[in-house]
Structure 1
Amino acid sequence: MAKTSVLNARRTAKIPVCPPGMRQAVILITRYQESLAKGGEVTSFMSVKHQPASAKLSSIVLKTAWPVLPAQVLALSELEQDEVYPHLDKREIGTYLNRSLSIGREAARDFNYEGDLEALLNRMIRSGVRIRFQDGSVPREIGWVRAQYRTRPPTITVYRSSVEQLSRFFRTSGHPVRKEDLIALHLIHEWFHHLEVSRLGRTDLRLPKVPTTRLGPFSLKHPLKKTREIAAHAFTQEMMGLSFYPLLLDHLLLHLDQGWSKQRIREQFEKLRARYRSQLPDGG
C-alpha cells in the first residue's frame, strides 16, 4: 500500500475509519477541534468553517485599503537582514534579487492553487511532507514565525495564532478572506522549502556564494540564505495568483502591532523605496 494517503474532507466531526494498511489524513470543516489520525500524515488539524461571504485571497487588492510595496523593494528589505549582505558587492544586489524572485516564480509554474485546500494538502502529503497545526506561537525573542519547515522528518508546522491574526487583519480591513486560503498561504510558503531540498535545490546554493574573508590568495565564501525566503514568497504569490508579494503582510502587521497609523506606514514605505533606489540606482 502506498505510504501517502488521500485526505478526506467531511462536514462532521466524525473521523472516518481507514481501511487496513491505509494511512489517512483528515481535516474537519465544521469547527476547530484537536484530533489525531493515527498513522496519518496530518498529525493535528485546523478545521475551517466555510463562510460564503468571505472572498478568495487572490481577489484581494491590498492597495485599495493599505500602503503597498512592490516585490523588489520588499525582497531587498529581506535580503538586508542576511548576515552576509554587508559583504555583497552593491553592483550584484539586483542580480541576487532578480534571480531569487525568478527561481520562486519559475518553480510555481508546475503548480497552482485555486482554492481547494483538500487537493493542496493531498499533493503536499504525496510529496513526502507531514503537516501539523499547532496552538500558540514561537516566542517573540526567537522571531516572528508563522510556520516552519524542518527536514528530519520533513514536516511543516503552521501556527494557528498566525492564521487567526491574518483573518482578523483582512476582516477589519473590510475584506474577509476564506480561512482555507490563509492556511494555504502558510503551507505553500513552507512547501517551497520542502521542494528546495527534495527536488529543486536550495535557492541560496543555486546562486554564487559571496566572498566574506580573504586569506592570502584564498577567500572564504558564504551563501545568502535569505534568498530562500525571497524565492518562497515569490513562489507563494505566483502559485496562489496574488496581487501582492506576501511579505507585504508581515510589514503591515508588524507596524500595526506597533500602533502605527496608515500615514506613518506610508511614510516608512517611502523610506524603503528610497533605500531601494539608493542601493540599486539603475533599478536593478
Structure 2
Amino acid sequence: MKTAANTVPDDRVLGYAELKNDLLFHRIPQGKRRYYVERPLAIGKEQALAFKARYGTDVGAICRDRGIRVNLNERKGTIGQIRFRAQIELSDKERVITLYRSSMEELRQCAGVLLPGRSFSLKEVTDIHLAHELFHDLEFTELGYTNKRLDDISSLSLGPLRIRASVTRTSEIAAHAFSRYLLDLPCLPNLLDYAYMIHSGTLTAGEFWRQTDVWAEELENG
C-alpha cells in the first residue's frame, strides 16, 4: 500500500477530491471531470508563479500592499457543526481575511500524519490559508471567479427547459494550486484536511490511501 513515507498524492488527485465536494458533481459529464480539475489547477499555478516572480512569497506583505486587512482571531471559527479556518469578506469598501488561530494550530500539529518528516510552523500554516484567500481576492478584483471562467453544466432539466450552472468548487481547486505553488508546498494544501481527519479519528490513514487510488482511477476513466 502507498504511504506518505514514499509518496504524496498528485495535484490532480487532490484536485479531484475537492471537485467531488461540489454540490453538482453528479451532473458533471464523466468526460469533463478532468477538464474541471486540470483547468483550475493550471489557472492557480500560473497566477502563483506570476505573483512569486513579481512580489516574492511574503504573503502578509502582499496582502498589505493590496489593501487587505488580516485579522487573527483567537476564537474557534464554528457555526453549529461547521468549522472555519479562514474566511474572506470582499466588498468595494473593504477586504478582510480572518484567520482562526486555534484551527491553524490544530493543522500544524497534525500535518505530519500524512507528511512524515515535514513539520509546519504556525506561520507556515497561516501563510497557506492567507495565500488561499489571497487568490479569492485576486478573483474578486482582477481575474473573475474561476468557476465563471469555465464551461457551465446542465444542473436541471424540466422538459425542454435546461438550467445551467457553474462548478463552484473549481474556484477552490485553483486557490489550492495558487497556495501550493506560491509557497513551494509539496502538494495541494487540502491534504491537511485529510491529515486532520486522521488525527481526529474520523478517517484512518489506510482508508485515505485506498481512497486516493479510487480517485485516481475515476479521474483516469473520466
Which range, TM-score by smaller chain?
A: 0.7 to 0.9
**Counterpart mapping for 1:45-194 below 5 A:** 63-64=4-5, 68-112=8-52, 119-139=58-78, 141-152=80-91, 153-170=94-111, 175-194=118-137
Normalization by structure 2: what TM-score?
0.85
Query: Distance between the aligned counterparts of 1:203 and 1:224, measured in 2?
Result: 9
**Contact 1:133 1:160 (8 Å CA) reproduced:** yes
Give, as a single letter, the amino acid of the residue that structure 1 aligns with 2:88.
Y
Amino acid at match of 2:186: S
Residue 139 of structure 1 aligns to a residue whose secondary structure is strand
In the TM superposition, what is the alpha-carbon distance from 1:234 to its structure 2 partner?
Answer: 0.4
Q: Indicate how the Cα distance of structure 1 residues 129 and 259 shifts in structure 2: closer, same or farther if over 3 A, else same.
A: same
Is there any run of 5+ residues in structure 1 with no aligned partner, and where? 1-61
Q: Which has the larger radius of gyration?
A: 1
Per-residue CA distance 1:211-270 (angstroms, 9 max, x = gap): 11224444111111111111100000010111111111111111220165xxx4133322
Between stretches 102-111 and 207-216, larger displacement belongs to 207-216
- CA RMSD of superposed structures (Å): 2.5
Normalised by the size of structure 1, how large is the TM-score?
Answer: 0.68
Q: Assess if the C-alpha contact under 8 Å between 1:93 and 1:280 holds in 2.
A: no
State the one-letter code of the partner of 2:167. L
Map Cα deviations across residues 56-90 of structure 1 (whole Å, 9 max, x no partner).
xxxxxx9338x732221111121111111111111
Amino acid at match of 1:258: G
Partner in structure 2 of residue 8 of structure 1:
none
Residue 247 of structure 1 pairs with residue 205 of structure 2:
no
Counterpart amino acid of 1:106? E
Distance 1:237 1:206, change over 3 A: same
Distance 1:71 1:174, change over 3 A: closer
Cα distance in structure 2, aligned partners of 1:259 and 1:279: 25
Q: Which residue of 1 is the match for residue 205 of structure 2?
A: 265
> Are residues 216 and 70 of structure 1, via their aligned partners in 2, closer, same or farther at CA, if it must alter by over 3 Å?
same
Point out the structure with the larger helix share: 2
Larger mean Cα displacement after TM superposition, 72-81 or 213-222: 213-222
